[in-house]
């Protein structure tokens, strides 16, 4: 699957903290239209999960399937989840990872905290 990471869609006017707000007197304030996105009062965007490119088709299709199902509750990862992670690590790094070595967390920072 190929993606064009050079084409960045505009995130302005989407209520994006990263692109529609800035730091003003240590407060998050709406960014004036004329202000440069990375000006003096800009919030330097260093987030991990706030992507600046479109989601891949597989993710969009999975979301549509979930929306069409109409039930939004807490779920537990199934075997395909662990197999996908294990397959990716094997393909990219040659690692053989056991399923019980994989810990699902609520986010990247939670994972870092648990690792420390």
Asked if residue 98 belongs to a domain, the reply is no
Over the stretch 72-81, which tens digit does the pLDDT of each residue have?
888 889 999 9
User: 1-7: long-range contacts (C-beta < 8 A, 24 or more apart)?
Assistant: 1/56, 1/57, 1/58, 3/53, 3/56, 5/53, 7/53
Q: What DSSP character marks residue 56?
A: P
Asked if residue 34 belongs to a domain, the reply is yes
The reported pTM is: 0.59
Asked if residue 94 belongs to a domain, the reply is no
Task: Domain of residue 7: give its range.
Answer: 1-53
Which of the two residues, 37 and 12, has the higher pLDDT score? Answer: 12
Count: domains in the chain: 1
Over the stretch 98-107, which tens digit does the pLDDT of each residue have?
999 999 888 8
């Amino acid at each position: 699957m190929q993606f064009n990471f050079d084409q960045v869609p505009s995130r302005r006017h989407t209520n994006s903290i990263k692109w529609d707000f800035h730091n003003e007197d240590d407060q998050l304030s709406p960014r004036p239209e004329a202000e440069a996105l990375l000006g003096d009062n800009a919030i330097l965007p260093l987030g991990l999960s706030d992507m600046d490119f479109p989601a891949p088709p597989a993710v969009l299709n999975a979301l549509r399937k979930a929306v069409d199902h109409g039930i939004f509750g807490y779920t537990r990862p199934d075997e395909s989840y662990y197999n996908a992670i294990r397959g990716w690590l094997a393909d990219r790094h040659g690692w053989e990872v056991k399923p019980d070595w994989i810990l699902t967390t609520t986010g990247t920072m939670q994972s870092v905290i648990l690792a420390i």
